[in-house]
Amino acid sequence: MFITLLISIIGLVAGWLVYRKLSIRNKKMVSEKFFVSVSGLSAVFIITFIIYLLVHIFLLGKANLTWEFLTQPPLEGLTQGGIFPALVGTSLLVLIMSLICVPIGTITAIYLAEYAKENSIITRSIRFAVNTLAGVPAIVFGLFGLGFFVSFVGKNMDSFEANRKIENLKTLFVATDSPFAGNGKATDEKIKNYLTSKDASYWNQEIDNVKLMTDTYGPETEISNDDAINFFKSKIRPKWAQPALIWAALTMALLTLPVVIVSVEEAIKTIPRDLREASLALGATKFTTIRKIVLPGAYTGILTGTILTISRGAGEVAPILFTGVAYYLPDLPGSFSSQFMHLGYHIYVLSTQSTNVDLTLPLQYATTLVLLLLTFILNFTAIFIRSRIRSRAY
């Protein structure tokens, strides 16, 4: 080690002495060739490393990449089975995130490029916000999503829905056909049958809670109207004030929003000013000019932002740790309020939280390979659409 370092130092000193003896013209030629060589070697190093990484993952993961692996849920403490719930959850997250992020980012970029005055307070504030979002660590977005979307927005939504449901329940229990219409009391069985006859899908949570009412008050015990309402009110479960697919998607949308804004704005700026002026001179409004001239020319930039968004969203795990992802969930997400599994988090769980990490090593590589393939497929789809649009435009 010491001899190698010594030889390297001697070589550098000798090269420097030779370089000093050269003429100015030769020095420029040597400097140019040196930097070209360094740049080329850096590019070769990066490409070689990427190829090695992809080949390494492919060779170790292809053995477990079977149809059963893609279509089965995890089994036997995550040591067997497949990744179907994680595959679906990741795809849904990326899709919802893109549908939220790309339109908002595109509209913001249009405003900054076409409408906003460069030195106005609003413009500087927006650019400051975009730059700040771009520099915030991903885990901070996760904490923000937990505090704002889950604890604030979701909690208020649940509170509003609970109050409305209790008011509907009170109205229902004072109706003439209510089991409380006689002496103001009713048994649990009568309450269950009454709610089922009204709207079983709307009152499904209350119908399920009748069993708990039986355990609390006893079977065939008559319960007063107020006691029944208070009981149902205490058993209302949160729907939105908990980690959910929609909160994870919104958090990821905030994370990737600066990427879309910057890429779309740069694409809009490449549209020649003469085209805008010609459109306005022919009597078109500014909105029509943007819709007919600017946006068609900026489609490639919008798709570039979408591609970068997909790549970032499919691989990030930290923002969704607190906002929606589940450790193990064999069922698929049934609504926006459902939790979901994610390929990136599933890889983390397999490599750190499994009961037998060595046993799950083949599954780790296979899951990583699927995540890369999913990202490549989504990216190549967007690249293909972008190339088709570009070929039609030119």
pLDDT in tens, 143-163: 999 999 999 999 999 888 888
> Tell me, what amino acid is at 327?
Y
Instruction: Give the lowest-confidence range in 143-147, 230-234, 283-287.
Output: 230-234
The whole-number average pLDDT for the span 53-69 is 86
The whole-number average pLDDT for the span 1-15 is 54
Tell me: the pLDDT tens digits for 180-229?
A: 777 778 777 887 777 788 777 777 777 777 777 766 776 777 777 777 78
Long-range CB contacts (< 8 A, 24+ apart) of 232-235? 232/166, 232/169, 232/206, 233/162, 233/166, 235/205, 235/206, 235/209
pTM given for the model: 0.81
**Exposure of 115 by Cβ count < 10 A (0-12 exposed, 13-18 middle, 19+ buried)?**
exposed
User: What phi and psi values does residue 346 have, to the nearest 5 degrees?
Assistant: -65, -40
